[in-house]
Structure formats: structure tokens, C-alpha cells
Structure 1
Amino acid sequence: MERIKLLKEVRAMKKLTLLGLGSIFLLAGSSKAGPLIDFEASIGAIQQKPRGYVSYEAESDNDRIDVKNDARLGDKTKPWAKFKLEHPIPVIPNIKLAYMPMKFDGSGVLTRDINWGGRTYQANADFNLSVKLDRVDTTLYYNFPFIKTATAGKLDVEFGLNVRTIMFDGKLSGIEKVTGQSISESKSITLPIPMGHLAAEIRPISQVSLVGELNYISYSKNTYYDYATGLRLNSHGLLRTPLKPFVEVGYRYEKLKIDEQDVKTDLKVKGLYGLVGVRF
């Protein structure tokens, strides 16, 4: 009986969820609902050029692995997806979601002995390094009151809190100094990092706007920030449809200096990006 009751409750929840989603998209597609709920979705690609170092259970600065000079980590181009929802309720924050995978692989020959994960890797031997830094952004924000209205829509400023969840994985393979055997040590951690968030859009004319955002936090031995700035071409006023496509190109810079759970990094990742999306 309990199982039957649980199945009925699950079915009821599914129906309510589908009904709610259907109502939201119906409102979003309605011309009357335009001032009430605004959606924005975009997807594209971003260059990721890493610089800096990474270490795990390092005993000294000598155990830091330079990702470019030692491991020769190559530049990557990865997808970047973003979603944004704004509503007119003053107390409840608006929300932005974003996902960006980040993974680098490289190899080289160690010029010195390296301590990684409690084991000593032999100098003058081949090694491979893999670093993954996938992240999910969940941003709760508000629009500065009256600015958009006072500027007739030419300026919009947002402020709030961004929680960036980083899925870190660092793996080093090489030759152990003591035994001369091939070894591999890895470390995985998930870090939810709260960051202050500030964003702005300047639209001198309806079809062109300058966009930018900044996320920042500094505490203890950790400093983490990123900024992005871009040029957006809008179809506003050109198409008489609820969907308003746009194209955005720009530049993004990220600095990740962390000291958590025996993992130390001081990484910089930068590159150009391009996005296509719609507002509705």
C-alpha cells in the first residue's frame, strides 16, 4: 500500500511540474507576458589558455608543477552554456545558471624530483599531468533599482551572489624514485565557492550593447576571480517575433589561487569566446 501511495504521489508531482513548466513557457511566449518574465539562453565556445602551477601535498615550492613549462598543457576550446531568468517580484532574486567544462592534459620530462600525493616522482623521467576544473555557476542577483528606467533601457546593472561549484581532479603519472616503477596518483575535490557578482549592460542603440561581468572572492590563502567583457549584436526591433536572437563575442580572464585539502593552485585561464542566444 505504501508503495502504491508513493507512486501516486510521484505521478502527481510529475503532472504539477509539467503543468508549471508549460505555464512558464506559455507566459514567456505571450506578448502580454513580455514585461513580466524575461528569459535568456545562450551557448557557444570559449578558448582556455592555462598558465600557472598546481601541486598536491607539496613539501616545498620545488614540488609545484608549472602547467606550461613543465607539463606543456595545451590550449583548449570548450563549450559554454548560460541561462538567465528575470521576473518583476522585488523581494525574490533573479537567477542565472552557467556550465563550463575545463580539462587540460600534458606531458613532459621532469627536470627535478617532485613530491605529489605523498610519493616522489623521479627526475629525468617522462610524466603525464591531467587537470580538470569543470564548473557550474548558480547566480542569485538583483537589478539596481531605477537605473534601467532612468536611462531609458540604455544601462542595466546587476549585483548579487554567485556560487561556483568546481569539480577539481588532478592526476599525475610517472616513475617513482624509490622503486623505479610506474605510478599514478590523483586527487578529486568538489568546491562550492561563494563569490560576489556584478554585471552590466550598456546599450547605446537597440541593436548594439556592451556587456561585462565580474565574480570575486578572497579569504585566507584563497583568491578567486574572473571577468568577461564582450560586444553583443541584438535583433531588437528588427524581428517581430517573441524570440530575439543575439550574437556575442568577447574576452574572459580567470584567476584561481586556492589552498584546500592539500591541493594548491595558482592558475590563470584566459581566452576569447563567442555565444549565440535568444531572449524571449
Structure 2
Amino acid sequence: MKKITLAICAALASASASADTILGFDATLGAWKPAYSGTIGVDNFNVDEFALAEDNVTFIQAALEHPIPLIPNILVAHSKIETNGATTLDENVTFGDETFVAGSELSANMTLSHTDATLYYEILDNWVNLDLGLTARMYDGDFQGDGVIGLACIPESAPCPSVQQTETIELSGVLPMVYGVARFDLPFTGWSIIAQGNGTSYNGDRHTDLTAKIRWDFVPALDFAIEAGYRSMTLDVKELDALQSDLEIKGPYLGLNLHL
């Protein structure tokens, strides 16, 4: 009886350890400092003209892995991307249904915030980790242009009125994307090398979002880690909602990770 009791206890301990290994929660909160390049609008206006602000972008993601076969794991992520800038137009430019004439003082506010819902499977789980799945990226953004141009006055000393123009182009579509992440753990060091990405190309639209980073488990007992790396996103869309763009958004990334 004593041997049977010990065997049962050993089996329960083994099952508990296995469950701890299989069932997991991973969350990252980070800041991304991107620069913007490329074109926007039907006239392929160069966004460098706006000198868009390179403010920090808040980024958060959380993943839950479970031991149930055939049912995918789930990851949810959100990036809040907002920037603005201004320029004086050298030529006429059309955004949406509004044409801003040469000489206008044009300010731009651009929001490319998005939320990802990802279903994925864990293909490898060792010192090499590989996850593959599908993502639905939901955009909640827009591009707003505000232009002001002064009218010619006769006589020139008279007060001159100005004409104001405003146009807002919505971006609220959903893009299906392929998802993948590979992590290479350096044994006995607490360091990992991680490559994570989403990508799609369909019906004239092309979108990629790639991150390369290193992770250091600086408090292993508490499952806390620091991440640092580089994130690069391209948004070449013509058919997604009303916004047309060929943008590249890239820059360094820093985050805090919790893994249970």
C-alpha cells in the first residue's frame, strides 16, 4: 500500500510539472520609437515633407498557451500609433475628395493604431521554440489633412481672408496575416534571441510587421525579463478601406516581459 501511495504521489507530481510546462502566460509591455517614410494618398505624396513626429508608440501583447490538443493558443496585441506634422505645399495634392492647392499650409495627423487577434500552434518547445498561426489585424485609424491658404488682396494693404480645407480618410479594415515567432534560448545564460513577424499580400495590398529582439531574464525567480530590439512595419495598401499608402515605419524597441 505504501508503494502504491508513493507511486500515485509521484504520478501527480509529474502531471503537475507537465501542466506547468504546457500551460503558460506571456505578456509584454513596450515602447517603440519609429521613424516614418514612404508615400500616402492617390498622388503618392512623400511623408518626409511633413517631418512627422517620432514619438514613442505604446505596445502591449499577451499570449495564453494551454494543454488542450488541436485547439490553438491565443495571442492578443495592440499598438497605438499616432503622429503629426506640417508642410507648405509646392504643388497641388489630393487626399480623398479634397485637393489642397500649392502654397497651402498643410498639417497632417495620422493614426495607424491596430489590434491583433492571433490563433497559433506551438510547433517546437525546447531550447528552440517555434510558433505558427494566423492573425486578424483590425485597424482603427485615419489620416486627417488641414490646409490653410491666404487669398490675394487688392489693394495689398487690405486684410486678406483665408480659405480652410479639411479632409479625413478612414482606415478601419481587417487584414488577415500569417504569424510566426522563433525563439532561441542560450542555455544557462538567461538570454534569448527572438524573431517575430506577421505578413500578408493579397489583392494589391502588402503588409509586413517584423521584430527582431533579444531577451534577458534578469529576475528568473519572478519570471521577469527585459527585451530590446528593432521593429519594422510596411503598409502598402490600395484596397483596404479608403486610405492608400506605401509606408515604412521602423525603429528601436524596448519592453518588459512577464512569463508564467
Structure-2-length-normalised TM-score = 0.84
Equivalent of 1:156, from 113, 129, 132? 129
Equivalent residue for 1:201? Answer: 183
Q: Which residue of 2 aligns with 1:14?
A: none
Query: Is the 2:31–2:253 Cα contact (8 Å) retained in structure 1?
Result: yes
Residue aligning to 1:210: 193
Partner of 1:11: none
Q: 1:120, 1:176 within 8 Å by CA — same for their partners in 2? A: no
How far off its partner does 1:31 sit?
A: 7.0
Tell me the equivalent position of 2:235.
256
1:114-125 equivalences in 2 (<5 Å): 114-125=93-104
Residue 34 of structure 1 aligns to a residue whose secondary structure is: helix
Q: State the 1:92 CA deviation.
A: 0.5
Matches within 5 A, 1:111-190: 111-144=90-123, 147-148=124-125, 153-175=126-148, 181-190=163-172
Deviation at 1:48, TM superposition (A): 1.5
- Give the greater-gyration-radius structure (CA): 2
Q: Please tell me whether the aligned partners of residues 80 and 101 of structure 1 are also in contact (alpha carbons under 8 angstroms).
A: yes
Q: Which runs of 5+ in 2 are unaligned?
A: 1-15, 152-160
Partner residue of 2:87 out of 108, 125, 129: 108
**In the alignment, which residue of structure 2 is the partner of 1:80?**
59
Distance 1:78 1:263 in 2: 21
Q: Give yes or no for contact 1:122–1:177 (8 Å, CA) kept in 2.
A: no
Q: Which runs of 5+ in 1 are unaligned?
A: 1-29
Q: Which amino acid aligns with 1:213?
A: Q
The count of corresponding residues between Structure 1 and Structure 2 is: 234
User: Aligned partners of 2:183, 2:136: CA distance in 1, in Å?
Assistant: 21
Residue 39 of structure 2 is matched in structure 1 by 53
The counterpart of 1:227, out of the listed 177, 185, 210, is 210
CA distance in 1, matches of 2:18, 2:93: 64
Tell me which of 50, 70, 75 is aligned to 1:91. Answer: 70
**Contact 1:122–1:175 (Cα < 8 Å) also in 2:** no
Instruction: Tell me if 1:65 matches 2:45.
Output: yes
Shift of residue 189, structure 1, vs aligned partner = 2.9
Q: Give yes or no for the alignment of 1:275 onto 2:252.
A: no
> Could you say if the C-alpha distance between residues 31 and 154 of structure 1 is closer, same or farther in structure 2, counting changes exceeding 3 Å?
closer
Counterpart residue identity of residue 230, structure 1: K
Cα distance in 1, alignment partners of residues 34 and 24 from structure 2: 30
Q: CA RMSD of the aligned region, Å?
A: 2.1
Task: Give the equivalent residue in structure 1 for 2:13.
Answer: none
| Matched-pair identity in % | 25
CA drift at 1:67 = 1.1
- The CA deviation string for residues 81-119 of structure 1, in whole angstroms up to 9 with x for no partner, is 110111111210001111110011000100101122222
User: How many Å apart are 1:263 and its aligned residue?
Assistant: 2.2
Q: Does the residue aligned with 2:140 lie in a helix, a strand or coil?
A: strand
Q: Does 2:38 match 1:38? A: no
Contact map agreement 1:94 1:142 (CA 8 A) in 2: yes
Q: TM-score, normalised by structure 1?
A: 0.78
SS in 1 for 2:85: strand
Q: 1:64 offset after TM fit, Å? A: 2.6
